[in-house]
Structure 1
């Protein structure tokens, strides 16, 4: 069976298929995470340990990046991260001043659901797409900066929840540390770089199934049209903004398109915010379902749009590799001819 060949034909397939498998498992056995035997097993560790697997992925990925490329990673990551947050903040302010009822707007969408969905990109999807379609590994590594979006911090900041309008400095350090460790090891020892770099592709489907396990497909169907509209809104609005920003900082725009999604862990943000701010408790459950729907919608749309854009622009990794090989061969052939003459 040519399983990998089939998976590779789908943009971001190494992310999408495991994510759907994890979601199906969670849907069939919704109470599985609470099972004591499951939680203490290797299977439980695989399906609930996506954070640990992502940390390992960053170490492996960091080993492939030379120190001289760190500036590019920082520039790309910060620009996309800030653009995502600023876009969500602008939308939050518009809701505040234009919507009479911020908890029950169009199709039942709330400010909580909208800001949570807009402020956090699907890192696994972004890394899988850029790893498969991007031109530079540093584009993949840029998510080490963008991962600062994760969690309820910036959603709380944008919504103005009292007392939580700050992002801990140590969170920046902890987000970057695995990548830095990998970079140090890879730059100090080329054998370590070769050894660790082999793990980055293997880890993508492993952490993807864990991310999928956090999604119950029944909740997605219950969200109905509102969650679908929210997902399309994230793709269109953030896609345009991030594409333009990526071009402004010297990119091709592909990374911006690949980041126009909603992270799986964003579905947990509404409940976290409601635990601090009681004004959102009445809509937290509905917002959770709507954000979960946006996760699925963006996970389907973004790979298709990114692949279409890459193919139309001639930015696929395969074409890039051919071009690089041709350039390298031309550099080799010229001296050889001169020597022969």
Structure 2
């Protein structure tokens, strides 16, 4: 792995900016790949890591092994460990309850296990769709059946364990968001992914099927439980949804930038290369344009958050719940970007898939 592609450690601080903190970009200087520089990027919050990280490492590994998501001594186990998903959860949920950091790590492992099935460009399309449909049935309350494999069974176990922590209204919001995410995954099976005429079409598809689409209601379950908050109304408020949907778009663009090498080598579509083709610009210019788009969205999030007291009815009573929700959206952005700097998934072909 070229050190110019990934430093092996996140940037813990950057340049102060009016809407957050700007981190220095990195060079993608990798084999058989056009050398480009990922631009400096604006982040809405500072780098933080959960104090619960070391406490959840062993339970996380025990869970995924016990659920047979991976088996010790196998390539899949090695890949999962080097992906550092427990670190990722601690970065995206830095000020959150211990249980969320643990189940967040597990959810990431489940997400990537399913994502690898869907992203496999050589896999049978009908099997991909059947797999997505089956996990969706699990998220609707189905129990595993005899033909179900270890991944489906692991999803079921995780889903039922999450239910045990949640109030019924917030669990239904979470389950609904998860089902929406799974339905949106079907877009990744469309044969026109690399031939989409409009980059925005691709971006919106990715917004809906990126994992963060259900991570916020997942966080809300544990925030409500830990702090005695009422999270249902916050999750349903359209002004807050506008902010959290922007967060998902920012995460997608950052993913497209930092995952450019992986997507190119794997034959997958990528927002940056679609911009390059659509606008007839060079790869570096497409990277820079992507970065500016993400930065503008971060600025909009900060500005829109400042508007919430004037827009949300009964804001005073909901202020803590709203703040924790929006701060979680921001930490998802920052934590995910920090994780890209320590995982091997996006720069080493041996770890492109579990």
TM score, norm. by length of structure 2: 0.32
Which of the pair has more CA radius of gyration? 1
TM score, norm. by length of structure 1: 0.33
Instruction: Compare the two structures and name the one with the higher helix fraction.
Output: 1
